[in-house]
Amino acid sequence: MAVALGAILLSCTNEMKNPLLEESTVKYGAPQFDKIKVEDYEPAIKIALEQAYKDVDAIKNNEQAPTFENTILALNYAGEDLNRILSIMFNVKEADTNDELERVAQEMTPELTKFSMYTQLNDTLFQRVKAVWEMRDSLNLDQEDARLLEQTYKGYERNGANLPADKKAEFAKIAEELELASLQYGKNALDATNAFIMHITDSTEIADLPDFVKNSASSEAKERNLEGWVFTLQRPSYAPFLQYSTNRARKEEIYKAYTSLALGGEFSNEENIKKIVELRIKAANLLGYSTHADRTLENKMAKNKETVLSFIDKLTGQTLPFAKADVAEVKAYMNKSQEGDMMPWDFSYYSEKLKDEKYSINDQMLKPYFKLENVKNAVFALADSLYGLKFTPAPDIPGYHPDVEVFDVTDANGRHMALLYTDFYPRASKRGGAWMTEFRGQSFSKDGVERRPFISIVMNFTKPTETEPSLLTFDEVTTLFHEFGHALHGMLAEGKYESLTGTSVARDFVELPSQINENWAYEPEFLKTFAKHYQSGEAIPQEYIEKIVESKNFLAGYYQIRQLDFGRIDMAWHTLTEVPSESIEEFETKIKRPTAVIPIVAGTAFSPTFSHIFAGGYSAGYYSYKWAEVLEADAFQLFKENGIFNKEISGRFRDCILSRGDIEDADVLYRNFRGRDPEPEALMEKLGLIKK
């Protein structure tokens, strides 16, 4: 829902100027990040919120009979500028937060939830929506309008519109508490991550580390005005330490710190998790569902928890023997030089050594060929080859942080398609991980003016040092390809309504564009075009390319079980009918034990930092990564059969998937592209775990 702020802008005095409320002077109406200050958010939200209420009340109090235009379309555009401001604020909060921004988010959340509930639980509004829905067959709506009507009506149903008045009040209270608990969960996870450092001053403790790891740790220490080397719990710091260090005590220290984040202590998320789970159960029960999973899966491809649990169990049964064999192989390799059990902090080191021995390849060898700038240009070139997109630096368009670079994206005909914001390096103000988001989605204004998307991709790659540029591991290369696949979904969106375009699709379908894009990173034909040594400029040796491809499925069974375990933990939390009395660690350990292929360490748990499901949009949805892998494995076969740069196939993928958003159900979109339903065995075949 959106809001027009024309009247508000006219009423603003010079003293009240607020860049979030002014019409943007930046090209394409992009956010004025060079002018926006933290203190601008709260007053802007309050003014936009006031107007949003007026827009909703105008629909509610309309004395004319309900029509598609005066009810469904009007609701679509109500609160529009409020949403615009919130998209800016909450995205910046994830990537460049501070205490004041966190305070604003916390303080405004109850007011925002109140407005959301005022709209969703308003019986007069719902009766107008319902009246339009019941006359849908006689309205002669086009496909997009019909879909907007359907999603609007079903959205009201799923969010409590049919509840009696007293239950609506209870539902609204639950929604507010849930938003606040999720915000606090995310803040605790970030604060806990930033609270830990492993400070090393004895050079003998890091003597065996590669130069790129030592240089990065040295730079981190200098930024903190410390001597020696500093390792943090940001992935580019702790992961290489585990991968290359022979200092077992230090590896145990950093592993346990990472896997016990927010599990007790000052930034504990234990109570937040139980509160979130309890509130989700209560909300589901009020709406007539037995569990949160039943509620959320209803509009996904999988449709219900039974399908999801069956999917996870079947893949687990097929994969577990391979995972056990993978771990046994690594343990046997370890025991050649070190007796005893292999602990989790040993696995990265010995699996890397084993990979090097089997394939004569490792990250240290490959990183010099994957300079971030070259990989970024490669994903741009791929988008050009497949979809005719061009990326032109736009230094006149401000980013929200000095690290952010902005690109003007155009198609083969010169049409402006999107702005792309790239943000690659870790910092204390940014949460961990990698993600794609948008400051504005594809839509048309109510006056018929097209508004192309503002897309952002955010990573946590190793920062350049005094002696080296940012060099990526191959895993980081595929991460960039993955997030860029999401970005393509946003940039190539077509359609009238933001709620139906781009990545606004079923959660278990949204990972298809991202995961299929990873495939090109393994294609020799494409690798040769960009993998060049950052110093000499020499192309990556052919033997390295062959080894990358050959080692692609190294430990595929282990990593698949790991992902399936995350999905199982998610479903365990969200198929509960009551909050468990046991601790977070005890609950999670019970779920992991049947499929554990490496010892479970006491005092550790993943749930306290599982932001995807407790502070993101993946609750009862983490299975979707594997679900979408089945789709992409099946879909990429069509590219392999016809040529990985085949214009006809890429054009069909764009027309049937990337540009269509949520205009039709995901299974229909997939069949339109592939000509049939996906073949479930495609993923196991791709991973080399079964043969055709």
What CATH number did the domain enclosing 607 receive? Answer: 1.10.1370.10
Q: Is the pLDDT of residue 129 over 50?
A: yes
Quote the CA–CA distance of 493 and 485 in Å, as a whole number. 12
CA distance 534 to 665: 45
- pLDDT tens across 528-557, in order? 999 999 999 999 999 999 999 999 999 999
Structure tokens at 114: 């109140």
Residue 215 counted as domain residue: yes
441 and 563 both lie in a single domain: no
| Structure confidence at residue 135 as a pLDDT band (50, 70, 90) | very high
Answer yes or no: do 345 and 300 share one domain: yes
pTM score = 0.91
In a domain, 324, yes or no: yes
Of 617, 420, 431, nearest to 510 (Cα)?
617
Q: What pLDDT does residue 692 have?
A: 64
Is 293 in contact with 659 (CB distance < 8 Å)?
A: no
Give the model's confidence band at 321: pLDDT under 50 very low, under 70 low, under 90 confident, else very high.
very high
On whether both 343 and 462 belong to a single domain, the answer is no
Model confidence at 231: pLDDT above 90: yes
What is the pLDDT averaged over residues 415-437? 96
The pLDDT of residue 88 is above 60? yes
Nearest to 574 by CA among 626, 610, 601, 525: 610
**Is pLDDT at 41 greater than 90 in this prediction?**
yes
Task: Give the domain range for residue 633.
Answer: 624-686
Res 516: pLDDT: 98
pLDDT digits (tens, 9 = 90+) for 585-624: 999 999 999 999 999 999 999 999 999 999 988 999 999 9
Please check whether residues 632 and 682 belong to one and the same domain. yes
pLDDT at 514: 98
- Taking the CA atoms of the chain, what radius of gyration do you get in angstroms? 25
CA distance 169 to 123: 12
Q: Minimal CA–CA distance to 664: which of 498, 499, 511, 500?
A: 500
Given 204, 224, 259, the domain boundary residue is 259
Give catalytic residues, as residue numbers.
483
CATH number at residue 135: 1.10.1370.40
> Are residues 25 and 90 located together in one domain of the fold?
yes
Picking from 511, 532, 550, the residue at the C-terminal end of a domain is 550
- Average pLDDT on 298-304 reads 93
Q: Rounded to an integer, what distance in angstroms lies between the CA atom of residue 589 and that of residue 597?
A: 13
Q: Which amino acid is at 509?
A: F
- Whether 39 is in a domain gets the answer yes
Share of the chain above pLDDT 90, in %: 94
Are residues 354 and 324 located together in one domain of the fold? yes
**One domain for residues 635 and 671:** yes
How far, in Å, CA of 274 to CA of 578, rounded? 10
Domain count, the chain: 5
Q: What whole-number percentage of the chain has pLDDT above 70?
A: 98
Is the pLDDT confidence value at 498 over 50?
yes
Looking at the fold, whether 593 and 483 belong to one and the same domain comes out as no
* Shared-domain flag, residues 415 and 486: yes
The answer to whether residues 444 and 543 belong to one domain is yes
User: Would you say residue 236 lies in a domain?
Assistant: yes
Confidence of residue 16 (pLDDT cuts 50, 70, 90): low
Q: What is the mean pLDDT of residues 179-203?
A: 96
pLDDT at 290 over 90: yes
* Boundary of a domain, candidates 210, 226, 259: 259
- Is residue 14's pLDDT more than 50? no
The verdict on 309 and 232 lying in the same domain is: no
Domain contains 588 = yes
378 lies in the same domain as 526: yes
- Work out the mean pLDDT of the chain and round it to a whole number: 95
Using the predicted structure, report yes or no on whether residue 691 has a pLDDT greater than 80.
no
Q: Tell me if 211 is assigned to some domain.
A: yes
pLDDT of residue 344: 97
pLDDT attached to residue 6 = 35
Q: What is the pLDDT of residues 387-423, one digit of tens each?
A: 999 999 999 999 999 999 999 999 999 999 999 999 9
Positive or negative CA dihedral for 491, 493, 496, 501? Answer: negative
pLDDT of residue 465: 87
In a domain, 514, yes or no: no
For residue 208, being part of any structural domain is answered with: yes
DSSP readout, 543-608?
Answer: HHHHHHHHTTTTTHHHHHHHHHHHHHHHHHHHT-SS--SS-HHHHHHHHHGGG-SSPPPTT--SGG
Contact indicator for 575, 385 with CB cutoff of 8 Å: no
Evaluate if residue 579 carries a pLDDT over 90.
yes
